[in-house]
Amino acid sequence: MPALSRRADALGTENAFVVLAEVNRLIREGRDIVSFCIGQPDFPTPTHIQDAAVDAIRGGRHGYTPSAGIDELRAAAARSMAALRGIEIAPDDVVVGAGAKPFIAYAIASVTDHGAGDEVIYPVPGFPIYESQIGALGAVPVALPLREARGFAFDPDELAARITPRTKLLILNTPHNPTGGLLSAADLEAIAEVLRRHPQVWVYADEIYSRLVYDNGDGAFRSIAALPGMQERTIISDGASKTYAMTGWRIGFTANRALAPVFTRWITNTESCASQISQWAAVAALNGPQDDAETMRHRFHARRDLIVPLLNEVPGFRCATPGGAFYAWPNVTEACARIGARDSEELRRRLLHEAGVAVLADIHFGARVEGDGQHIRFSYAASEAAIEAGVARIADFMRKNTA
């Protein structure tokens, strides 16, 4: 067989889908599994959004669209993103893609040159596709640790120490996957102050969870793009998946005036355009009633307030309260020691196979942060009954297996 490229061999993955495949196999074999491994809302897409998709199908809207997206969605996304962030965004600044994820690669490919030693700074722990795409596209990954003592934010001095003349891009993610952490107004001001000394650095602001904020002083979402001098160099990334329970519809959008034409060419070269049917559904999501989206946000907030105290009652678990998204990131260093598990990955495997509970381990989100111990991730985009049952199984497992 002909050989694969080094790029193909080195390409990473998103372990949530790997674990989900294992969970589904066990379920097919008859196992009873409570799963917290996948980060998607468990609610149905709101009915008026479904109806808009049906109308698009019945109306013959089946073909290609412009690569940047239909005008109606670009305008709706511009209004929505601008209003949330308190900035001005023109429809021509917005590009629509098949989910927000492809824009990670498009951004890296647009601001770095393959093999030139260009550096991209990314958060650890973090969404695993960041590191995977940095390496696959021939840039140099530079990890920036998020520390538990700082509420899973990073030290601006550590950011400053990592920026070199070769740094081309900084990836920010708030609210954050996998920790649920938020960058505060003070954090963002400090980051912007560092970046003003380095005008060559672009910012990729992954804000897909921007409408799932629970704790941030006044509860408002804050973007670095709203700070003086930051918008023109910030690639704002958002989408419909998390806010409107539309993960499978694959609709994401970015906003940056300079890079919009470049992203459009990338889409022409890759996916051609996002699904026209999904785009019309997203127009209805953004322009239509927001009651369902707000109800989902309140439900996630209530689930957070349910799962965190329950996790803190599990022997050996210590869980900080996340400020946004729908993830809990408990420290399980003591739990591993209690049951003689080598690390969080061994604990994860034992929870799956012995307790029937699926979670992800910290190593699925990059190298562990030195000195911060072991962690596992729960997605509490699961029913209240599943949260109570799953955590009860874990507590029972810990009591039975503590040496």
Task: Say if residue 135's pLDDT is above 70.
Answer: yes
Q: Is the pLDDT of residue 21 over 90?
A: no
pLDDT at 354: 96
251 exposure class (CB count in 10 Å sphere: 0-12, 13-18, 19+): buried
Per-residue pLDDT tens over the stretch 106-117: 999 999 999 999
Is the fold of 6-44+292-401 the same as that of 61-287? no
Q: Which CATH class is domain 6-44+292-401?
A: alpha beta
Cα within 13 Å of Cα(6), Cβ side: 3
Instruction: Record the tokens describing residue 308, joined without a space.
Output: 């965190």
Is residue 18 pLDDT above 90, yes or no? no
- Under the banding of pLDDT at 50, 70 and 90, the label for residue 10 is confident
Is pLDDT above 70 for 217? no
Domain 61-287 fold is Aspartate Aminotransferase; domain 2 (3.40.640)
How far is Cα 142 from Cα 370, in angstroms, rounded to an integer?
15
Please write the tens of the pLDDT for every residue from 172-191. Answer: 999 999 999 999 999 999 99
User: Which pLDDT score is estimated for 289?
Assistant: 98
Residue 384: how many CB atoms within 10 A of its CB? 13
Q: What are phi and psi of 171, to 5 degrees?
A: -100, 125
Sheet arrangement for strand 327-328: 327-328, 376-379, 360-361
Nearest to 36 by CA among 391, 378, 319, 309: 378
For the chain, give the mean pLDDT. 95
Q: Are 371 and 307 in contact (CB under 8 A)?
A: no
- In tens, the pLDDT along 78-103 reads 999 999 999 999 999 999 999 999 99
As a residue count, the chain comes to 403
Is a pLDDT exceeding 80 seen at residue 14? no
340-367 tens-digit pLDDT = 999 999 999 999 999 999 999 999 999 9
Looking at residue 73, its pLDDT comes to 98
Q: What is the largest CA-CA distance in the chain?
A: 65
Q: Is the pLDDT of residue 218 over 80?
A: no
Q: Does the pLDDT of residue 243 top 90, yes or no?
A: yes
- Predicted local confidence at residue 216, as pLDDT: 60
Q: Is the dihedral of CA 183, 189, 195, 199 positive or negative?
A: positive
Those residues with Cβ within 8 angstroms of residue 282's Cβ, 6 or more apart along the chain or in another chain:
49, 73, 76, 77, 96, 240, 244, 246, 249, 251
Percent of the chain past pLDDT 90, that is, above it, reads: 90
**Whether the predicted pLDDT of 268 surpasses 70:** yes
- Beta carbons of 61 and 73 less than 8 angstroms apart: no
Distance CA 306, CA 54 (A): 36
Cα atoms in the Cβ-side hemisphere of radius 13 Å centred on 273? 17
> What are the structural domain ranges in the chain?
6-44+292-401, 61-287
Distances (CA, A) of 121 to 107, 188, 203, 231: 13, 16, 10, 19
Average pLDDT over residues 316-340: 97
Sheet holding 119-124, edge to edge: 94-97, 252-255, 234-239, 202-206, 167-173, 119-124, 140-145
